[in-house]
Amino acid sequence: TQLLEQSPQFLSIQEGENLTVYCNSSSVFSSLQWYRQEPGEGPVLLVTVVTGGEVKKLKRLTFQFGDARKDSSLHITAAQPGDTGLYLCAGEGGSEKLVFGKGTKLTVNP
């Protein structure tokens, strides 16, 4: 069974700080997706990483896929209150199914 462990589970920081969220597994994934979920809504895709070692940037968000395609990280620079939400990583193992981590609940205080 493929599992994705996310850490930390909860993170509360002040506006302007930097943070990193981790997503780890013992399994290899063909791709990894990061989603953000706000209260009362479904998850929304932020990015998909496919190649080992790949780095993608989305404004102040930087996503990295591990060389062995077993882990990923999300770094946010100068966090803003609008970044508040639940961040989920999801691995694709070769079929359409995604394996989701339990998420990191981020709160950015003004």
Partner 1 sequence: DAGVIQSPRHEVTEMGQEVTLRCKPISGHNSLFWYRQTMMRGLELLIYFNNNVPIDDSGMPEDRFSAKMPNASFSTLKIQPSEPRDSAVYFCASTSGLRNQPQHFGDGTRLSIL
Chain positions contacting partner 1, by CB under 8 A: 30-31, 33, 40-45, 48, 50, 88, 92, 95-98, 100-103
Quote the least distance from Cβ 17 to partner 1, whole Å: 25
Q: Which of 57, 51, 49 is nearest to 23 (CA)?
A: 49
Quote the least distance from Cβ 36 to partner 1, whole Å: 11
Quote the least distance from Cβ 102 to partner 1, whole Å: 4
Q: Which of 36, 46, 42, 49 is nearest to 87 (CA)?
A: 36
Rounded Cα distance, 66 and 52, in Å: 5
Angle at 24 between CA 67 and CA 87, to 5 degrees: 110
Quick one: DSSP state of residue 83? G
Q: Which is nearer to partner 1, 2 or 84 (CB)?
A: 2
Q: Which of 17, 6, 8, 10 is nearest to 109 (CA)?
A: 17
Quote the least distance from Cβ 110 to partner 1, whole Å: 26
Q: Which is nearer to partner 1, 19 or 99 (CB)?
A: 99
